Amino acid sequence: MHIHCSLNQLYLLAALAISGCVTTPQPQTSTTILPDAAQSASTSDTKVLNVQPLPTVEIKASSLAALTTIAQQPVENTIDDGVWSRIRAGYGIPAVDATHYRRELDWYRQRQSFLSRASKRAQPYLHHLMAEIEKRGMPAELALLPVVESAFQPFAYSSGRASGIWQFIPATGKHYGLRQNWWYDGRRDIEESTRAALDYLSKLHKEFNGDWLLAVAAYNCGEGNVHRALRRYKGNAQSPDFWQIRKLLPRETRGYVPRLLAIAAVVSEPAHYGLKLGPIADEGYFQRVELDGQIDLALAANLAKISLDEIYRLNPGFNRWATDPDGPHRLLLPVEKVAEFQTALAAYPRDQRVNWRRHRIRSGETLGGIAHKYRTTATVLRQANRLRGNFIRAGRNLLIPVARKSLQSYKQSAERRRQRSIKSPRSGKREIYQVRKGDSLWSIARRKNLRISQISAWNGLNRGDPIRPGLRLTLWQTATPALNGVSAPTAGAERTGLTRQKLHYTVRRGDSLWRISNRFKVSIASLKSWNRLSGKHRLQPGQRIKLFVDVTRSGDNG
């Protein structure tokens, strides 16, 4: 923060020197110092500093020029608290009156423990985020967006299927080049997801004519929602901003942008709000190490002499006990461990970096069944054994990749996280459902009057994950009655932050009930019920139908 009172004093001295007579000025009772632009112009946040009368001084004319130059220069904040100072110095979003985000600011003020946890989680990642943002000339406030999205939890997963610190949903992640398969999810890869998030934000910034707040809003709810709000705006402004269309946006987005501005204000001057930020050094925490193939993560941790949990914390994109056999063939490791790891890896035989087991095929076994037994996939077995299809012959052997340690040791693998998610207590009555032949997440959700996103979240599944007969799913049912055959908002809505929003959709050429239900993540039965459609009804282009969709914290962006 600039110290305006000292500047006022210097200006006063300069003016007196010009007048040719220097006298003791009248006492100035107080000088009002406003917080930085990122905080507020609100009087409730102003500070008052008492200034003592200036002593009589003599100023030579020869010193006047130098004095005037000093008076015109801002006084820099000399406090250096690592990467937080770097972030403050890079703020670039125009100032906003704190009355717009007072409620969100009050929320942070009361949650020192939340900020402490978020700071601790951000420690390995924040320097990298700032480096990438600076390369692109983007405002440093964007480095704080993961606080709003995920509190910097690399394994954060929302009911809307958003994942990672930047909370990409599957479709948006794929659009921005984030691979997602059984072994690996690029939405959680720290380097790749950061690249994709900044690509997306840059695109949105350009799309909304350089307005960062509209770009951030679109990141949350999707650019379509923001464009619709702009079209519906009835005010006088030729180029309406976020605050003018705020009420026309989804409820979650109305608070999303203020939350970013509020955390930026807190980082700008935490002591002013009675808060502390955990120290984070302004230096790289990790370094990328290129590999030449798949490696067991437990072996990698052993070679680097770090814990397996640290391997997962820096490489949360890997779902299983090993890196993806198809790549990316790389690991992020603490900077100080890289040289030692590379030396140890070079001495370790390449064919021993993943353990293999020989399985003799028995009569009646299938490739999928064998894969399920060893907790892998048919695709992996086909690749490992150079099979063109799923045909296997009894009496022959298959090579099976297996973990070096017990699967319980890989605590941050997708399977172990899924087990913890299943055991987490929820609201409502718990039900265990055993998957039958022909079941899908969609059919189970329809039968149980639930949403696919709920079942996925409760069981640590992605929407596209296969479910096999015999799999036991945990379901939670509330006593809330159904509305027109569709559950009211909703079993788990209070927990996940779901809000129901009514939409009207104009049918396009080629649309069907199935396609619309898939696009908006609602059931066909719901569409029929909401619009009183019969089983044989065919949709016509131009027809308007009614939908009720759940808007989650992650919106439609990712």
Question: In the numeric block, which tokens belong to residue 492?
Answer: 């788990």
* Residue labelled with tokens 């770097």: 86
What SS3 state is found at 518? Answer: helix
As annotated, the active-site residues are 149
Neighbouring C-beta atoms of residue 312, cutoff 10 Å:
22
H helix runs in 278-429, sequence order: 297-304, 308-314, 338-346, 367-373, 378-385, 414-423
CB 415: neighbour CB atoms within 10 A? Answer: 14
The residues with which 187 forms a beta bridge, in sequence order, are none
Cα distances (angstroms) measured from residue 528 to each of 23, 239, 452, 488, 517: 86, 39, 18, 16, 10
Residues 6+ apart with CB under 8 A from 502: 546, 547, 548
Name the nearest CA neighbour of 227 among 215, 210, 212, 235.
Answer: 215
Which among 529, 537, 440, 455 is positioned nearest to 490, based on CA atoms? Answer: 455
194-to-119, 142, 191, 318, 325 alpha-carbon distances in Å: 18, 11, 5, 16, 23
